[in-house]
Amino acid sequence: MSQSIAAHSSAAVVEETGIPTNKLGMWLFLASEVMFFAGLITAYVVLRFSHPAWPGPEGHLNKWLGSANTFILLGSSWTIVMALADFQADRQRSGRLYLLWTILLGSAFLVIKGFEYRMKLEHGIVPSTNIFWSCYYTLTGFHGLHVLGGIITNLWLLVRSLRGRLGPSQAYRAELAGLYWHFVDIVWLFLFPMLYLF
């Protein structure tokens, strides 16, 4: 791909680095988020290898629900990158549709996660049950909060677009929201196998 349709659309000033300030700021924020999740994941790995019986006698997670959620998040990554392409080309109606799909898919992810939580809680499996479930609730809880944050941001973008305030000069907002959403997707790409497949 020689030319990106997602080339810098930012109205931000910059330019010593050649990168719009808001975009560089978002990447630095994501770098700090990487450190946050890496801390949690590294703790999980250390605990995982320190315990021969894992996850314990309380049972495993439902691999198929986890897989469904992974496909949902992967789908939402595609819809948000399509939304960005549309907003940059000032195709507002199509952009809004893709953004709405992203919000719906993110919400579906949270609904399924809530369903999983309910199943476990009904069986008396809580964070204090054992170290695996403690890790599970911590990792998926923080990730779920990030998904919720992404949904709220996308809703805000949708409202801006409906009010006619997300034209090509403002499309950088969609780009920043997209970067965050993709990051949340990437975190799940590692959480899913570690919690559900190993």
Partner 1 sequence: MANTVHAATRQYLWIWGWLAGLMLLSIGVSELPLAPHLIAWIILGFSTAKAALVALYYMHLKQDRKLLSFVAVFPLLVIVLAVLLVASSRLVKL
The residues binding partner 1 (CB under 8 A) are 1-7, 17-19, 23-24, 27-28, 30-32, 34-35, 38, 42, 45-46, 49-50, 63, 67, 70-71, 74-75, 77-78, 81-82, 85, 89, 178-179, 182-183, 185-186, 189-190, 193, 197-198
Neighbours of 97 (CB within 10 A): 15
Our CB check for partner 1 shows the closer of 57 and 64 to be 64
Instruction: Supply the minimum distance, in Å, between the C-beta of residue 24 and partner 1.
Output: 7
Our CB check for partner 1 shows the closer of 137 and 180 to be 180
Distance CA 27, CA 53 (A): 39
Instruction: Supply the minimum distance, in Å, between the C-beta of residue 149 and partner 1.
Output: 17
Contacts of 47 (CB under 8 A, 6+ apart): 131, 135
Contacts of 40 (CB under 8 A, 6+ apart): 138, 139, 142
Our CB check for partner 1 shows the closer of 90 and 162 to be 90
Q: Quick one: which of 104, 109, 132 has its CA closest to 120?
A: 132
